[in-house]
Amino acid sequence: MSETSYSEIFNANRSLIDAGSSPVMSSLRDRAYGCHSKYGLPGTKVEEYLHTDLSQWLSADWGMNLGRVALPVNPSEAFRCSVPNLSTQMHFMAGDSYISKEGHTGLPDGVLAGSLLELSRSHADIVSRYLGTLADMEKPGIAALDTMFMQDGFMVYVPRNVQIEKPVQLVSLMPDAVQMLACRRILVVVEQGASLRLLLCDHSSAKKPCMSMQVAECFVADNASLEVYDLEETSATNTRVTECYVSQQRDSRVMIQNLSLHNGKTRNSVHSCFKGPGASIEVNGIAILDGGQHVDNFTFVDHEATDCQSRELFKYVLDGKSTGSFAGKVLVRPDAQRTSSQQTNRNICLTPEARMWTQPQLEIYADDVKCSHGATVGQLDEKALFYMQQRGIPMKEARMLLMLAFLGEVIDRIPLDPLRSRLLGLVELRLRHGQSRCEGCGVCK
């Protein structure tokens, strides 16, 4: 479908979309429609999408659940995530519809966590204050398209000075029997002095092609802390596009981990802006690719305020005829003195057919800064492989151990011990070309 096709679907089904939504959500649609009509969907002529033709990805005749039909997914039967020693507050989405096994229990007073649709009705004053104010619709991308069609999603609101000890986990499942496009929206608000750990887990074993769009808006207030772990374990028929927007105030701390363990075609983007001094962000990612899989990560960190720090580390392992892309831009504005920024991208291509494109960028307009960036694309160290074989380690095992050590630098940055340990196990299984799935999970069988 083309930009015109999505506009026609929107106009023909506007009343149906609004009926399955809320007044807060619907109030954003006219502006989103105007932006989508003006800027459209990005192709490879747009600099941020040089190696990912999003207009082609969205040209398929995807079905959309605008009538809010119940999807054939039972999370209790389909998914039983088991991360040893890690207890989470678990929530579920089927396609772009929120469903929950546990509800809102187990969280401190004042915390809101659950369906964006329901919370935008019951807490319209809070949701209207934030929703749609951070995602950039004034450019080619999915923010405008997602806003046009969003009817549900997930929201977490953490009041001032509330520390959530138990991580909040959102598991998104794509139904196996339905070919569809899911438009999800995520809203995260962490007020002054509060903290939140959020796990976003995308799973799919669908044999039919499916696509998910996910736009997240994250607001982190003064001296607040947010950790986001975005884990993808989908099927080769799955297409996934995400945009994450982060606004940070004074002395706030943010960590984002994008972990692509198995997929079809994926595009992730992170847009962060420092609105107050003394803030910091760490954006890391790994991608393990084989066959014809594709992962594109794009990051943009906007240093508007003084004394802020950003750190980025992305690592890819590419096998078969897979393709990968990383583009990261750090903008240091004239008033952002005493900025510290480091951006690194390291990649291993295991076959001559694998392809990796990398483009780290720095744009600096301040004088007192410490900034660096770098990228490499290479192969496994032949000397290290020879050394390990000389000591009795088979070639296949030696290659796996070197790749695990290579990716381990990113995983080691995860402060949650149980999650870090579990991810090391999943990465090792994936590198051995096993099916990386949680024990007892029916999604990835």
**Where among 276, 310, 329 does a domain terminate?**
276
Residues 6+ apart with CB under 8 A from 171: 75, 79, 81, 90, 91, 92, 93, 201, 203
- CA distances 347 to 14, 50, 326, 388, Å, are 45, 18, 10, 21
Q: Report if residue 337 sits inside a domain.
A: no
Tokens 């995860």, located at residue: 414
Within a domain: residue 351?
Answer: no
Q: State how many domains the chain has.
A: 2
Same structural domain for residues 398 and 258?
no
Shared-domain flag, residues 91 and 234: yes
CA 70-441-237 angle, 5° bins: 65
345 located within any domain: no
Calpha distance 313→292 (Å, rounded): 24
The domain in which residue 74 lies consists of: 3-276
Q: What is the pTM of this model?
A: 0.92
- Residue at which a domain ends, from 251, 276, 301: 276
Same domain, 407 and 264: no
Residues 40 and 187 in one domain: yes
Q: Indicate the DSSP class of residue 70.
A: P
Range list of H helices, 247-327: none
In a domain, 315, yes or no: no
Residue 323 lies in a domain: no
Domain boundary among the residues 276, 292, 311 is at 276
Q: Is 355 among the domain residues?
A: no
CB 246 within 8 A of CB 282: no
**Do 190 and 47 have their domain in common?**
yes
Indicate whether 33 and 169 sit together in one domain: yes
- Per-residue pLDDT 10s for the chain (445 aa) are 566 688 999 999 999 999 999 999 999 999 999 999 999 888 888 888 999 999 889 888 888 888 888 776 666 555 555 555 577 888 999 889 998 755 556 788 899 999 999 999 999 999 999 999 999 999 999 999 999 999 999 999 999 999 998 899 999 988 776 788 999 999 999 999 999 999 999 987 667 788 999 999 999 999 999 999 999 998 888 999 999 999 999 999 999 999 999 999 999 999 999 999 999 999 999 999 999 999 999 999 999 999 999 999 999 999 999 999 999 999 999 999 999 999 999 999 999 999 999 999 999 999 999 999 999 999 888 888 888 888 888 888 888 899 999 999 999 999 988 889 888 988 988 888 754 444 444 434 3
CA dist list (Å): 145 to 61, 91, 124: 15, 25, 22
Statement to judge: residues 266 and 405 lie in one domain: no
Q: Are residues 261 and 140 in the same domain?
A: yes
Which two structure tokens, joined as six digits, stand for 92? 């579920």
